[in-house]
Structure 1
Amino acid sequence: MKGGTSKSTYLRVSFFSLTKLKFRTPQVCGLVRRHAYSLLHVHPYANAFNFNDSNLSHGHHDDQVHPPMSAGVWEAKYEVDSLAAFLRLSRSYYQHTHDLACFQYPDSPSLPPSASSPPSSSPSSSLWLGAVRLVLDTLQAQQAGTLEHLPSVPPSFPPSLPPSFPYTFQRETRVASETQWGAAGEGGASRRCALVRSAFRPSDDATLLPFHLPGNAMLSVELKEVGKMLEEGGEEGWGEGGGEVGRRCLAMGEEIGRAVEEEGVVWVKRREGGRGGKEEAEGGGCGMEGMESVYAYEVRGQGEGGREGGR
C-alpha cells in the first residue's frame, strides 16, 4: 500500500489510508509487517520507504543524512509521529483481531514478509518485537539533551571531536522548511526533559523548536496502548522479552505524558470571544489576569511550561 503522491510507502499516510477499511483484512497484517521490516532493517528515522532496495534513483538520495540512507529509503525526514503511526497501526490491528500470528513472523533481513508468511516458532525473535525495541531505543536517543552529544561537557572551544548526534539532516534547497538548521543539520538546542525531539512536522516541514507537542502526545498514548497489548498477550503469546518491552513502553508512555503537561502547557493572553484554554487565570496578582493556558505546538524544553512561551 502506498501513501502520498510518490511511489513510496509513508509510515503515517499508509496507516491513515486504512481508516476507511476494515482492520480485519489480511492486507493490514502485511502492512504491520512491512512497517516493522522497514524500521528494523532499512532506516529507523525514515518517514518513507521504497518498495524494494534495488534502485538508488527512487527518492531523495542527494540528502545528507545520518545515519546514511540505503536504497530502500525514499526520504529520511525524521518525524516522531511516523514512529507513533507504526505503534498505532500495530495495536489497532491487534485490538480488532487478536491475531498474535501476525506479529510472530521471524526476524530476518531478507525481503519483507507478506501477510501469508508463517509465524515464528520462537516469538522472542519476531520481526515486530525487534522493531518495537528499536523504536524505543530511537526514542530514548532523541530524549537526550544537546550537550549530551558533545565530546566534552562543558564543551571545549574549538571542540576536540565532532558532536555525535544520533540523527542529522541537510538538503540543498531554496526552501528553508525543507531542511534542518545547525552546523550539521541537528536542529535547535534542547535539554533533557523526557519529551522526544522531532526534526520535522507531520506536514514534512522542519520543526522550528525541537519538541513537537502533538507528536509527543500521540506517542504517549500509543506507547501505553502497545504496552497494554503486550501485557495482555503475556510471555506465552509474545515470547521471552515481550514483557520487558511492554514495561518499557508503559514507562516511557507515562514519562512522555507527564512531560507534555509540564513542558507543553503555556500561558497566553485570552482572546476576546475565544473558546477558552485548558485553564483560565483569575485574580490573585502575579500579572496573570486575563491569561489562559493552552498546549503549545512546539517548545524548546527549556522550561517554557507554566509561563508565556513556546509556539
Structure 2
Amino acid sequence: MPAFTVLNGNIQTRRARVLAITLVIIVFLFFFNNSRLSDRTYLASTPITQSSNINGGTKQPPQANQDKDKELPIAHGEPDASADKLKADADGQDSYRNKDGELAKQPADASRSPGSSASSSASSSSSSAESKAPSSSSSAAAAAAQPPSPPPPPPSSEPCPSFENWMRTRPGPASEGKRKFPLNRPRPECRTFHSPAMESLITRMKSVIKDPDLYRLFENAYPMTLDSMVKWRGYANASTDASSDMELTYVITGDIDAMWLRDSASQVYSYLPLLEASDDKDSLASLWRGLINAHSRYIVISPYCHAFQPPPESGIRPTHNGAYVHNHPMPAYDPEKVFDCKWELDSLASFLQLSVAYAEKTGDWRFFGRHAWVDAVEAAVDAAGAMRLGTYSKDGKVEKSAWTFTGWTNRGSETLTNDGLGNPIRENGMVRTAFRPSDDACIFQFLVPANMMWAKYLESASEIMAKLDGDRARNLTAAMREQAFGIRQGIDRDAIVYRPGYGDIFAYEVDGFGGANLMDDANVPSLLAMPLWDFTRSKFKLPAGKRDYAEVYRNTRKYVLSDDNSYFMRGPVISAVGGPHVGPGKAWPMAAVIAAMTAYDPISGVKDVEKEVEEQLRMVLDSTAGTGVLHESVNSWKESDWTRAWFGWANGLFGELVLKMEAEEKKKGGKGLLAKDWQGDASASTSPAAPPPSR
C-alpha cells in the first residue's frame, strides 16, 4: 500500500507537470501567433488632406487604416479576419501559391451594383491639369462628344470591406457578354485614390471597346492599383527628414501588405499615359513623387532589399513576416523597416525607370535635387558596383561578397548555394544578382534581362543627374554611364549563345565561365520584354563591334515562345511563359500581355501583328475563370486553377496594352481589335498551339 501510494503520487505529479507545461506552450503559441513585430508608438502622421467631391458628394477615404476603430493595419491592403487566409506566413508558407477558388464558383449577381463607370467618374475632384485625359488617349473632340457624368450615388453606410472579400461577392451588374464578368471596382467611397483622368478615360473607352466583356476586363483591371492598393499617402516628419514637404506614398502589391520596389514601381508606371505635371497634393503627379521619395528612403536604408514595411509616419504597424526567422541575409536588416530582403537588381532598375518616366513626362527636373533621390542613386550604384566583383581574385583567392543569403527552406529557389554566395561567377562587367524578379534564386547570377534594364536606366537617369549642380552629381553621372557601358560589354561577350534552329539568342542567365541558362521567366524584366525599355538603342557609348541585337532579339523571341523554352506552358486554356515560382503547368497572363505589347515593336519581327495580338488577347480574356481580372498564373489545362486574383501589376499591364492597341489602331483609321466582337470561339487559325520551329 505505501509503495502504491508513492507510485500513485508520482504519476499524479507527472501528469500535473505535463498539463502545466502543455498549458504554457498553448498560451505562448497563442500570443506569438497574434503578436506584431512591435507595439511602439509612431510619430504623428501627416496625412494629405483629401479633396471633396465637386458636387459636394463623398470624400476620398483616408489613405491610412480604413477599418473600423483602426485596430489593425488591414484596410484594402490585406484580407481581414473574416477572410479565408492571411497572406505571408508565420509558418513559412509561400503566399503566392494560395488560390481563392470560391471566386470562380459564385455566380455574378446582376442585381447588385456598386455604381457604374459613369457614376464613379465624378467621385472626386483634383487639379484641373489632371482632370482631362492625356492626348495619347483622347482628343478635345472626343471629350466634347461625351455626355456629362451624372453625380455619384450617396456613400454607403456599410464599412468598406477588404478588396479580396469584395471580389468574393462578385458584385454586379455583370457584363452583357457570354462571360458575365462582375464589376469588381470598389464603391467610390472605398477607393484608395481618386483620379478624374482615370474616370474620364474609363468612360471614354466604353465607346472605343465594343465588346462588353473586353470592356469590363479593362474597367476592372486598369484602375486596380489606384482603387485598392494605395494604402497611404502623406508627408515625411520634419524631425526625421530635411523638410516636411517630402511627399510619401505607400503602395502594396495586393494580397500581401508590404511594398515591393519593383511591383509598386511597375503598378504606378502603368499610369504614365495619365501623368501630367501638377503641384496639387491630390494629383497623380503627387502620388508619383511620393513613391519615388519612399523608394529613395528605402534604398538608402537597405539597397540590397526588395520589399519594405509602411513608412512610420503612416501609423500602420509593420507586417509580420516569418521569413525573418528562417532567412539570413548579410548584412542583416531591420524587420520594422524591411519586410523581406532578397538582392534583386531589377528592383533598383525599376526605381530608376519610375524616376525617368516622371522626369520626361512632367519636365520637373528640380524635384530630383531635393530630398533623398541623389542619396538613393548613389547607394544603388555603389551596391550594384560592389556586386560586379567576381568570385575569385586574379590569384585565385575567394573574394568577400558584399551580400550573402542563406535560408532554412524546403524549396531550392529560396536559398543560395555555397553558404550564401551562390554559384561562382567570373567578372565581366555585369552585375551579380542573387534573385530573379519572381523572387526565385538565380542559377547563374548574371541575370541578363535585369542587367539590360539596369544598364538602360542608368544611362537614362544619368541625364537627370547631369542637370543637377555640384561635383557629387557630376561624379555620379560619370559613374552611372561607366557602369552601364561595362554591363553592355559583359552582355555582348557572354550573354549571346548560339542555339541550333534559332541562331544567336540571349541567355537568361550566365556566369562568365561559359555557363548559360537558356529559358525565360514570365516576370518582368524578361527577355521577351526587352523592347519595352529599348535596350538595343542608346545615345551613349556602345561596345565596339556590337552585334545586331534586333536579330538576336527576334531569334530569342521565337525561342521563348516555343516548347524549347522549358518554362513555356502550353494548353487549351492559355499558352504563355510561366516560371518556377508557381511551377510547371502554370502560365502567367502577364507574359501573354507582354507578348502582345512587344509585337508592336518593329524589333520583334512579327509580320502579322494584329493576329499575334489577337491570339494573346483572347487567351487573357478566356483565362480569368469568370472573375473579370488577370491572375498571377493560370493552369494551362484548367481555367479554375489559378493563383492570386488581387495582383495589380498584371492588371495594370493589361490596361497599358489596351491603350497601346488604341494608339496603333488610330494610325489605321480606328478599325481593329477593339471594335471586334469577342463573343465567338477562337478559330483554328488563331490557336497558339503551333509546333516549335524545326531544328
The TM tier, using the shorter chain, reads: 0.7 to 0.9
Determine helix, strand or coil for the equivalent of 1:201. Answer: coil
- What residue number does 2:411 align with? 175
Determine helix, strand or coil for the equivalent of 1:222. Answer: helix
Q: Offset at 1:56?
A: 7.5
The letter for the 2-side match of 1:28 is W
Matches within 5 A, 1:8-19: 8-19=258-269
Matches of 2:408 and 2:350 in 1, distance apart? 28
- What residue number does 1:249 align with? 480
Q: Offset at 1:58?
A: 4.3
Alignment equivalent of 2:299, drawn from 27, 39, 42:
39
- Whether the 8 Å CA contact 1:50–1:58 is kept in 2: the answer is no
Matches of 2:380 and 2:329 in 1, distance apart? 18
Alignment equivalent of 1:83, drawn from 316, 327, 348:
348
- Whether the 8 Å CA contact 1:228–1:250 is kept in 2: the answer is no
Q: Offset at 1:261?
A: 1.5
Is 1:143 equivalent to 2:388 in the alignment? yes
- What residue number does 1:6 align with? 256
Q: Offset at 1:252?
A: 1.2
Q: Offset at 1:19?
A: 3.4
- Whether the 8 Å CA contact 2:433–2:446 is kept in 1: the answer is yes
Q: Offset at 1:241?
A: 1.5
Q: Which of 1 and 2 has higher RCO (CA within 8 Å, sep 6+)?
A: 1
Q: TM-score, normalised by structure 2?
A: 0.35
Matches within 5 A, 1:71-110: 71-106=336-371
Is 1:66 equivalent to 2:330 in the alignment? yes
- Whether the 8 Å CA contact 1:12–1:86 is kept in 2: the answer is yes
- What residue number does 1:119 align with? none
- Whether the 8 Å CA contact 1:223–1:250 is kept in 2: the answer is yes
Matches of 1:76 and 1:146 in 2, distance apart? 22
Cα distance change, pair 153–103 in 1 and its aligned pair in 2 (3 A): same
Matches of 2:307 and 2:322 in 1, distance apart? 9
Cα distance change, pair 59–48 in 1 and its aligned pair in 2 (3 A): farther
Q: Offset at 1:5?
A: 2.8
- What residue number does 1:23 align with? 275
Matches of 1:136 and 1:168 in 2, distance apart? 18
Alignment equivalent of 1:226, drawn from 461, 470, 483:
461
Cα distance change, pair 8–251 in 1 and its aligned pair in 2 (3 A): same
Q: Offset at 1:137?
A: 0.7
Determine helix, strand or coil for the equivalent of 2:324. Answer: coil
- Whether the 8 Å CA contact 1:177–1:206 is kept in 2: the answer is yes
Matches within 5 A, 1:154-303: 154-155=396-397, 164-183=400-419, 185-231=420-466, 233-235=467-469, 239-270=470-501, 276=502, 292-303=503-514
- Whether the 8 Å CA contact 1:212–1:297 is kept in 2: the answer is yes
Determine helix, strand or coil for the equivalent of 2:323. Answer: coil
Determine helix, strand or coil for the equivalent of 2:269. Answer: helix
Matches of 1:268 and 1:206 in 2, distance apart? 24
- Whether the 8 Å CA contact 1:79–1:202 is kept in 2: the answer is yes
Matches of 1:263 and 1:154 in 2, distance apart? 21
Matches of 1:206 and 1:94 in 2, distance apart? 33
Matches of 1:180 and 1:196 in 2, distance apart? 17
Determine helix, strand or coil for the equivalent of 2:298. Answer: helix
Q: Offset at 1:155?
A: 3.8
- Whether the 8 Å CA contact 2:365–2:464 is kept in 1: the answer is no
Q: Offset at 1:103?
A: 2.0
Matches of 1:133 and 1:178 in 2, distance apart? 29
Cα distance change, pair 104–227 in 1 and its aligned pair in 2 (3 A): closer
- Whether the 8 Å CA contact 2:432–2:447 is kept in 1: the answer is yes
Matches of 2:380 and 2:322 in 1, distance apart? 23
The letter for the 1-side match of 2:348 is L
- What residue number does 1:111 align with? none
Deviations 1:15-70 (A, max 9, x none): 110133233321000000100100102x1111100004664834631111101011
Flag as ranges the 4+ runs of structure 1 deviating above 6 A. none
Count of aligned residue pairs for this structure pair: 252
Cα distance change, pair 47–167 in 1 and its aligned pair in 2 (3 A): same
Q: Offset at 1:198?
A: 0.9
Matches of 2:324 and 2:260 in 1, distance apart? 16
Q: Offset at 1:265?
A: 0.3
- Whether the 8 Å CA contact 2:356–2:464 is kept in 1: the answer is yes
Determine helix, strand or coil for the equivalent of 1:241. Answer: helix
Matches of 2:356 and 2:409 in 1, distance apart? 38
Is 1:57 equivalent to 2:335 in the alignment? no
Percent of matched pairs sharing the same residue: 27
Matches of 1:248 and 1:33 in 2, distance apart? 22
Cα distance change, pair 59–6 in 1 and its aligned pair in 2 (3 A): farther
- Whether the 8 Å CA contact 2:424–2:511 is kept in 1: the answer is yes
Q: TM-score, normalised by structure 1?
A: 0.76
Q: Offset at 1:250?
A: 1.4
Cα distance change, pair 243–23 in 1 and its aligned pair in 2 (3 A): farther
Matches of 1:97 and 1:103 in 2, distance apart? 12
Determine helix, strand or coil for the equivalent of 2:418. Answer: coil
Matches of 1:218 and 1:193 in 2, distance apart? 17
Cα distance change, pair 265–18 in 1 and its aligned pair in 2 (3 A): same
- Whether the 8 Å CA contact 1:190–1:302 is kept in 2: the answer is yes
Matches of 1:211 and 1:129 in 2, distance apart? 26
Unaligned 5+ segments in structure 2 are: 1-250, 277-284, 519-695
Unaligned 5+ segments in structure 1 are: 107-126, 157-162, 271-275, 277-291
Matches of 2:367 and 2:409 in 1, distance apart? 41
Cα distance change, pair 23–46 in 1 and its aligned pair in 2 (3 A): farther
User: Computing the radius of gyration over CA atoms, which structure comes out larger, 1 or 2?
Assistant: 2
- Whether the 8 Å CA contact 1:32–1:90 is kept in 2: the answer is yes
- Whether the 8 Å CA contact 1:65–1:169 is kept in 2: the answer is yes
The letter for the 2-side match of 1:48 is A
- Whether the 8 Å CA contact 1:59–1:74 is kept in 2: the answer is no
Q: Offset at 1:217?
A: 0.6
- Whether the 8 Å CA contact 2:414–2:440 is kept in 1: the answer is yes
